[in-house]
Amino acid sequence: MLSPAPDPVRSPVTSQPAGSRRALVAGSVGNFIEWYEFGVYGYLATVIAGHFFTPEGGSEAEGLVKAYASFALAFFFRPVGAALFGRLGDRIGRRPTLVLVICLMTGATTLIGALPTYDSIGAAAPWLLTLLRIVQGLCAGGEFGGAVSLMTECAPPGRRGRYGAWQSFTVALGLLAGAGTTALLATVLSTAQLNGWGWRIGFLLTLPLGSVALWLRLRLDESPAFTSAAGVVGAPVRRPPTGETARAVALGAGRVMGWSAAGYTFLVVLPSYLQNTLHATFRQALVATVLANLGFAASILPAGTLSDRLGRRAVMVSGAVLVVVLALPLLNLVQDADVPTYAKGAALFGAGAAVGLIAGPGPAMLAEMFPTTVRYTGLGLAYALSNAVFSGCAGLIITKVVERTGDADVPAYYAAAACAVSAAALLTLRGDAHERALR
């Protein structure tokens, strides 16, 4: 595994310089937009399935599976984007690469809101949607590695966990914004209006959001760690052996697979699961998802801050073990018609909070595994591979397995199994990794 050089004396926490604050905001905003869009797509999956994946005579279940297949396909292009943009970012810098990523991401999401449907252009509609989802997947793969590299490299001493946690926090904010936007549209529009044209609004709103993100990133300075590692222009840059980097990527993916699987199960797939399996209404499913995302958001920053004191291993293992132990009881509580609504809400909030304990320290943990010369590529690939397999496939796997077996507990089994593997991988972390300087 790639490990940072030891720093025998823990650096004191210093005040937050202006450059660090700019890096924090500019790094976070792209992630917010990315997850806002993924949230909107997930929450409107049943509507999108009807417009793009269910020709006349097709079943709703078939359309939903195809919509999730498109969802999963975008995730499988994340590792490609992580490798492509990561290599670029490790060579020319974090700032120019992140500017390119935000432009492509904003354009692709906005175009989804303007796409003609199956009724208008036939079989070309799902292919065009899938193409734009692929572009989004490439951009999402390039976004995480660059933003986390920038934020952790610019973090004041002793605050990498908290700075990295903002990347996860904007996941929660983006998903909440997506859920809030969708809930607002479902409230102010009739069902016919939402299904007819209202679903487009959530995607079109990305254009002004992306414009703000682009402005912030154009004002950004390059990471001092990258500038230092790059040295004199034209001079050779020393990079670790490819095999060593590959092993670190695989281990990093294992450490965050529980975050990927449980996060998408409880935070994104939940609305469609509640509607199709438990026969909840669209509004009830959205409220449930908002509660889970609120719990997720509430625990992320405290978890990141705590990991700067206690270490990444202690906090992340605690979160993974909590999911393993509580996933099935919490889901059974939500399924029970006799349980009061407030208790179900508390259960969903708690599920989200447990995932937040993994997600808060996760970005800093990944950044600490790789030296500056391959950090963008390495941590981006580890995160993207985990997301491709365990997030992108979550909706597809859960929907198909529930459909075939009739077992409503499948989401809990899926999240708990992934977190059990993650807990084992996280135990290999050094307890003092948070105290060591980035290489």
Q: Report the CATH number that the domain containing residue 274 is assigned in CATH.
A: 1.20.1250.20
Identify the CA nearest to 269 among candidates 395, 87, 364.
395
Instruction: Give the pLDDT confidence score for residue 62 in this predicted structure.
Output: 62
Residue 218 covered by a domain = yes
Residue 8 covered by a domain = no
Identify the CA nearest to 312 among candidates 435, 434, 187.
434
Can you give the pTM of this predicted structure?
0.84
Residue 251 covered by a domain = yes
Instruction: Give the pLDDT confidence score for residue 51 in this predicted structure.
Output: 81
Identify the CA nearest to 422 among candidates 252, 225, 177.
252
Residue 294 covered by a domain = yes
Residue holding tokens 């052996």?
241
Instruction: Give the pLDDT confidence score for residue 56 in this predicted structure.
Output: 61
What is the domain extent for residue 62?
Answer: 18-227+241-433
Residue 66 covered by a domain = yes
Question: Higher pLDDT residue, 385 or 72?
Answer: 385
Rank 199-213, 279-293, 340-354 by mean pLDDT and report only the highest.
199-213
Residue 77 covered by a domain = yes
Rounded Cα distance between 341 and 339, Å, is: 7
Tally of structural domains, the chain: 1
Rounded Cα distance between 218 and 31, Å, is: 16
Residue 156 covered by a domain = yes
Residue 175 covered by a domain = yes
Instruction: Give the pLDDT confidence score for residue 6 in this predicted structure.
Output: 41
Rank 40-54, 94-108, 389-403 by mean pLDDT and report only the highest.
94-108
